[in-house]
Amino acid sequence: MKLIEKTMNNFIKEEEKEDGSCIFQTIEVAKVDHRSNVSPPPSAGTTTPLLEVSTGDELSLLPPLNFAMVDNGIFRSGFPDSTNFSFLRTLGLRSIISLCPEAYPENNMQFLKCNGIKLFQFGIKGSKCLPGLENEVWLHLRKHQKEGSYTNGNSKTTEPFVNISDYKIREALKVLLDEKNHPLLIHCNRGKHRTGCLVGCMRKLQKWCLTSIFDEYKRFAAAKARVSDQKFMELFDVSSFKNTPMSFSCSSI
């Protein structure tokens, strides 16, 4: 772990593997005491209106693309932008897990700073399978799994058209399972594939059957559902999390 930048209210930490490749970076931002903005109670005899009409951002409660609740204190979506900030503020977020490798936008960073939200960034590159090659990807994985040359998480076998990182998903799951980070939002670009894989692996910890995991994945991915993503979730080994504290129901392994 090395400290790569420090400012008055902003610390960015980047964790590296032994080979020097980046695993993820954590960005801590200043917390804001919202109590200072609380209005004093009305004096006796003052009439309080039943509905206070507001203008501007206070009425713009627009959720991000593909927004949904995953579990208590856990939400998912596509990449949020400034039109979604008022809505996100209502969630009282403590943390955001971003699965995109690109630098976080300045507007978003300012929003995190103003609301005391910590960013966990696990850069997983988006991937697109060429038409008609999804089944070939799965046949490739099955072939190496049977031969013993494919081990999910530590494989040296090149996975064509599959860029989901088993190690980064595991690291993201550790953040996701830690209640100190809740309420928490998971997002990638469109809230479909990378986010769907992380949520699907969490569902395995909750003892969901594969049919239910895939049904949830397809509800968000729709026509863009990928066989390779579903096979990644199927092969994902959750045994290493058996001693990890979890607040979810049906979480015993």
Which of 35-39, 109-113, 147-151 shows the lowest per-residue confidence on average (mean pLDDT)? Answer: 147-151
For residue 243, what pLDDT is reported? 79
Q: For residue 38, what are the CA distances in angstroms to 31, 42, 47, 51, 122?
A: 16, 12, 18, 17, 36
For 95, half-sphere exposure in the C-beta direction (CA atoms, 13 angstrom radius) is 22
SS (H, E, C) 94-141: CEEEECCCCCCCHHHHHHHHHCCCEEEECCCCCCCCCCCCHHHHHHHH
236 has pLDDT over 70: yes
Rounded to 10 degrees, the C-alpha dihedral 222/224/228/230 comes to: -10
Cis peptide bond prior to 183, omega within 30° of 0 = yes
What is the pLDDT at residue 24? 62
Question: What mean pLDDT do residues 227-235 have?
Answer: 94
Coarse DSSP helix, strand, coil percentages of the chain, rounded to the nearest 5 percent: 35, 15, 45
Write down the mean pLDDT value for the chain. Answer: 76
For this structure, is 100 an active site residue? no
Q: Which of 100, 188, 201, 209 is catalytic?
A: 188
Specify the pLDDT at position 217: 97
Cβ 83 vs Cβ 209: under 8 Å: no
Phi and psi at residue 186, to the nearest 5°: -105, 135
Flag whether pLDDT at 137 surpasses 50: no
Give the model's confidence band at 46: pLDDT under 50 very low, under 70 low, under 90 confident, else very high. Answer: low
Give 15's pLDDT tier (boundaries 50, 70, 90): low
